Copies of this chain bind each other. A is one copy, B any other.
Amino acid sequence: MINFVQFGAGRIGAIHAASLAASDDAALRYVVDVNREAAERLGKKYGAKVVDTKTALADPDVHVALIASSTDTHADLVVAAAKAGKAIFCEKPIDLSLKRVDTCLEVVKQTGVPMLVGFNRRVDPSFRALHDRLRAGEIGEVEQVIISSRDPGLPPLEYLKVSGGQFRDMTIHDFDMARWLLGEEPIEVYAAGSCVVDPAVGKIGDIDQAMVILRTQSGKLCHINNSRRASYGYDQRIEVHGARGRLMAGNKTPTTVEVANGTAVSADKPLHFFLERYAEAYRAELAAFLDALRKRKPMPVGADDGRQALVLAEAALKSHRTGRPVKVSSIGGRRA
């Protein structure tokens, strides 16, 4: 049995706990949350004890720290878990400060504990299949990557205020996809942002629209488009152009029903948001983590991947603010 302590008993925590329960050889031993009530509820459902961080990490029979608490607690928990010798499953982002991420990852590196960062799109069945077929050479060498990633609606302002801004909060997933699919590090980032959905977003210094172009050393190009408002649901599409063809992955829908009438032929709009769209990815993520642990394989998304996506987000933010393309090397050298 692989025993877990889970930090965070909220929405994402509930998903991971359910995935754990469906596993044959993993068990939730402890739940830790500042919201005692939420922790008790989750603990009761899955037979886990509610304790504090120290107690949980001190238990030698706990093998994994699953960190699904609020963003500002991630880095400290990663450090504490690493020092306690636990394997780490950490929801993205590790932290909103690149400096703090680096300090934190230094500890992880020294302790040598395995760590997965929660970019779950890498294990989404469609994106994973696209990636694997790409790497298998089905369309030849990559030339361009185009990522459409649009949320169904603005989150509450309270959320936005602590989110780190659109590039760090939302585009960061797309930066990870870009790196993964390009198969080569971007060296330059140009980002244009604007605020057209709600002026209140602009007032807190954030944006609700963005378009990005990434460029690699060898001339591969990548475009990302983001919006906080896709009234038709969560729009998550990827296309990759190679020397011999194009691979695309499209949206998923609740049903396959379509109606034809005097007006149009209409199908379902896409699944509403990430909980629905990536339900399979969340399950696959925990399975992939456990598989890597058992077989002592590299994690499907490593600690360094978490860092590099943040570097691109920082570069995008700087580009947006200065109105100029930004060299990635000016943000933070690649961690050795």
Contacts and interface: CB of A to CB of B under 8 A. Distances in A.
Interface of A: 22, 125-126, 129-130, 133, 138-139, 141, 143-144, 146, 148, 150, 190, 192, 194-197, 209-211, 213, 215, 218-221, 223, 225, 227, 229-233, 235, 241, 243-252, 254-270, 323-325
A270 to B, nearest CB: 8
B223 A257 contact: no
A259 B230 contact: no
Given A246-B232, A261-B231, A194 B209 contact: no
Contact of A269 (B192, B231, B263, B323): B263
A192 B268 CA distance: 34
Contacts of A126: 255-257
A244 B231 contact: yes
B267 A265 contact: yes
Going nearest first, the 8 A-B pairs with the smallest beta carbon separation are A194-B219, A245-B261, A232-B260, A264-B266, A266-B266, A126-B255, A250-B256, A246-B260
Given A130-B255, A133-B259, 20 more contacts: A129-B255, A143-B227, A143-B229, A192-B213, A195-B219, A211-B223, A230-B241, A230-B246, A231-B243, A232-B246, A232-B260, A235-B246, A235-B260, A245-B260, A246-B259, A250-B256, A250-B258, A263-B269, A266-B267, A324-B324
- Please tell me how many copies of the chain the complex holds: 4
Given A215-B192, A223-B211, A269-B262, A247 B243 contact: no
A243 to B, nearest CB: 7
